[in-house]
Amino acid sequence: MNLPRIAVDAMGGDEGVRVMVEGAALARRNHDSFKFLLVGDGKRIEAALENHPNLRAASEILHCDDVVGGDELPSKAIRRAKTTSMGLAVNAVKAGDAGAAVSAGNTGALMAMSKLALRTLPGIDRPALAAIMPTLQAHDVVMLDLGANTEADARNLVQYAVMGAAYSRIVNGFDKPVVRLLNIGTEEIKGTEELRDAAAMLTAASAEGGLALQFDGFVESDKINRGETHVVVTDGFSGNIALKAIEGSARFVTDLLRQAFTSSLRSKIGFLVSRPATELLKHHLDPNNHNGAVFLGLNGVVVKSHGSANAKGVAHAVAVTARLLENKLTERIAQDLSRLGEGALRHNGRAATPKDSEAPA
């Protein structure tokens, strides 16, 4: 399939040009149909491309000197959207010069720029940040929101569920993904009013059969990675905390195993015997193998790569981006929202009303 080119913010991330170009080159080697618009310092990009002639033949460079800082406030960064590598990459999507944008830069700034330039889809009050995480099963779990909005009302959560299910159908291939709301318990009486209202709306919409998802109530945070749920929906505050807790636990386990296997000669021998299993564990927990969070609900595809991602991680984010373009993610979400309708956003005769938008977390 002849995909539109992908705009890459070559200056974002902890290591900038070197890793972003290497990642794009690796993605290009695996998928020779990929084409790129590399945005950033032209001289540095040209120098990095000398080692990747295959990527050079499939890329155009858009030079700019300005870069969004990692700790820069979104309100400040957004004023330089027309001069920074991040802003120009997103604006290339708006102008139709690229089909999607990838950046490893400041998440809040990227969210703000993307929302301003691309706007939200009809029927979406707020975009959400979604990512995939490993599970005990063969498939990953999609989780959102992971920090785009610190608060979410029932209406927002229903919209997140629809968007997350559309994303899961693409990345995991499920016809009707199992969707649950993150809560402090699985009983119907647990949680905030917003959660209970969202559950009622999704239950009613699922009963009508119009949604391409299976709503199955609530899930607790310790069950997220079990693989029993395909999509976990929550507000950005809770989602970001849960994500970092999961990432921290994964690092804790790997560090603990490393200490245990190096504590004595017997432990080192045990490590050699169990090395195939530990290598499999390391691969499963490596965030680079799951890199690429997506801003769902926009009139365009924008993917956030982790700032510390290596070339393999960047390549994974690029591959996710291409897959979303190939499977027309934006169009799928719009179609699903049209099936949802306003009726599904009502509970006990009361319409859920959207809150004012807020700056990304």
pLDDT per position as a tens digit, 193-235: 999 999 998 988 877 766 788 899 999 988 988 888 999 999 9
Q: What is the CA radius of gyration of the chain?
A: 21
76 and 57 assigned to the same domain: yes
The whole domain housing 340 covers: 128-287+334-351
Domain-embedded: residue 1:
no
108 and 147 assigned to the same domain: no
Report the CATH number that the domain containing residue 43 is assigned in CATH: 3.40.718.10
Residue entry with tokens 């809770």: 238
Phi-psi region of 302 (alpha: psi -120 to 50; beta: other; left: phi over 0): beta
38 and 159 assigned to the same domain: no
75 and 136 assigned to the same domain: no
Tell me what pLDDT residue 142 has.
Answer: 93
Tell me what pLDDT residue 103 has.
Answer: 93
**Which tokens go with 180?**
């649950």
Nearest residue to 8 (alpha-carbon basis) of 37, 30, 51? 37
Q: What is d(CA 141, CA 146) in angstroms, rounded to the nearest whole number?
A: 13
When divided into structural domains, the chain yields a total of 2
Domain-embedded: residue 306:
no
69 and 190 assigned to the same domain: no
244 and 145 assigned to the same domain: yes
Domain-embedded: residue 240:
yes
93 and 156 assigned to the same domain: no
Tell me what pLDDT residue 357 has.
Answer: 39
**Which tokens go with 29?**
């080697």
Residue 286 pLDDT > 80: no
159 and 214 assigned to the same domain: yes
Domain-embedded: residue 323:
no
Q: Report which DSSP code applies to 84.
A: B
11 and 52 assigned to the same domain: yes
112 and 135 assigned to the same domain: no
272 and 185 assigned to the same domain: yes
Domain-embedded: residue 164:
yes
Of 118, 136, 155, which closes a domain? 118
Of 85, 118, 151, which closes a domain? 118
Q: Report which DSSP code applies to 279.
A: H
Tell me what pLDDT residue 171 has.
Answer: 86
Share of the chain above pLDDT 90, in %: 39
Of 118, 143, 162, which closes a domain? 118
Residue 358 pLDDT > 70: no
Domain-embedded: residue 320:
no
The three-state secondary structure class of 297 is coil
**How many Å is the maximal CA-CA distance in the chain?**
69
Tell me what pLDDT residue 349 has.
Answer: 38
Residue 178 pLDDT > 90: yes
Domain-embedded: residue 298:
no
114 and 207 assigned to the same domain: no
Share of the chain above pLDDT 70, in %: 85
Domain-embedded: residue 65:
yes
